[in-house]
Amino acid sequence: MAADPRFHPAAGPQSLAAILAAAGATADAPADVTFEGVASLSEAGPREVSFFDRDRMAAALAATRAGAVILRPEAAGRLPPGCIAIRAAHPALAFARVAALFHPAPPPNGIRHPTAVIAATARLAPDVSVGPFAVIGEGAEIGAGSVIHAHAVIGPGVVLGPGSVVHAHASISHAICGARVVLHPGARVGQEGFGFVPDEKGRYVTMPQLGRVILGDDVQVGANACIDRGTLEDTVIGPGTRIDNLVQIGHNCRLGEGCILAGQAGLSGSVIAEDRVVLAGQAGIADHVRLGRGARIGAQAGIMSDVPPGTDVIGTPGRPVRSFMREVATLRRLAAAGRPKNEQDRT
């Protein structure tokens, strides 16, 4: 089905010309043909646009009723009769841009709810929107086009660049952020890191956490994810990095550009992840480990030592995928060799 307008207001109809411009695509059809929205191949109707980029979607493509489908040029011949082929080198990327054309993010309106608490020394661009019961601390700076939703807390001195969005119940302190940073509901940024030392009686003394969090342009932090501030250095998240829900990033970590951290991944303190590192769900990284550029860490992997650039690693302790698979195959052969003959026959 198309997006529910109660939750996703539509900016349609859109002409094919506008769709092609947004997608960076081509089509052999009149430019003034209009469409009302986007939908999946199986749900789209004649006035809607969909996309196809994987063979596992082939059955849905053959049966689609969509008026137009974004796909690679070589797949255009697989469309049902009457469906317009919108040709793009990267269909999913093109579709994302077309979907945003039909459903753009609501612009800020400059309204500050009367229940919001905004410090007198805070500096907000004129069009910044602030929702009910939000709190903005002394000396905070919030750039043009930003939106602060209900119950969000922006700590003293925090800087949020233009176009940033802080969703409901998220909080941020001790942080300097670039443009278009997004904190999803319940995200926590800038809180005290997990640092302490035992005293003479074995009791724990908290190590003052005197660093900051630096978020680059276009960083997004998922719901209930946590990023601790640094101890004496900064915790740094590079431009374009995407952090999923329920991720933990410890103090002094430094992530490069365009990293991806999937749900429930965890980084101990002082981890360095170079550009384009990917962590799958529930992957755990020990403290002071360095992940080389483009390394990919599999789901539930436990990484206790440095990972070279471009390496795919799985398992606990983590090791290269091929090594891990060879070990698993060897264990299976040994287990099979040790079983009674009648049990082997049954398996």
pLDDT in tens, 295-310: 999 999 999 999 999 9
pLDDT reported for residue 325: 87
pLDDT reported for residue 182: 98
Proportion of the chain in helix, strand, coil states, percent, rounded to 5: 15, 25, 55
Q: Could you tell me which residues come within 8 angstroms of residue 234 by beta carbon, excluding any fewer than 6 positions away?
A: 211, 212, 213, 214, 252
Q: Which one-letter amino acid corresponds to residue 115?
A: T
Q: What is the mean pLDDT of residues 206-232?
A: 97
pLDDT reported for residue 343: 60
pTM: 0.91
pLDDT reported for residue 82: 95
Domains of the chain (ranges, CATH numbers): 14-102 (3.40.1390.10), 170-321 (2.160.10.10)
Residue 228: strand pairing partners: 191
Query: What backbone torsions phi and psi does residue 195 show, to the nearest 5 degrees?
Result: -130, 125
pLDDT reported for residue 226: 98
Three-state DSSP class for 60? helix
Catalytic annotation, pick one of 151, 167, 184, 251? 251
pLDDT reported for residue 185: 98
Mean of all residue pLDDT scores within the chain: 95
pLDDT (tens digit per residue) in 234-275: 999 999 999 999 999 999 999 999 999 999 999 999 999 999
pLDDT of residue 80 exceeding 70, the answer is yes
pLDDT reported for residue 344: 55
Q: What's the pLDDT band for 2 if we cut at 50, 70, 90?
A: confident
Q: What is the mean pLDDT of residues 98-106?
A: 95
Cα separation, 325 vs 315, whole angstroms = 10
Question: Helical H runs in the chain?
Answer: 16-23, 58-63, 91-102, 321-337, 341-346
Told to judge if 288 belongs to the known catalytic residues of this protein, a careful annotator would answer no
pLDDT (tens digit per residue) in 111-170: 999 999 999 999 999 999 999 999 999 999 999 999 999 999 999 999 999 999 999 999
Cα separation, 128 vs 112, whole angstroms = 8
Q: What is the mean pLDDT of residues 290-296?
A: 98
Closest alpha carbon to 265 in 287, 255, 280, 250: 280
Cα separation, 98 vs 197, whole angstroms = 53
pLDDT of residue 347 exceeding 60, the answer is no
- 290: its two tokens: 């360095």
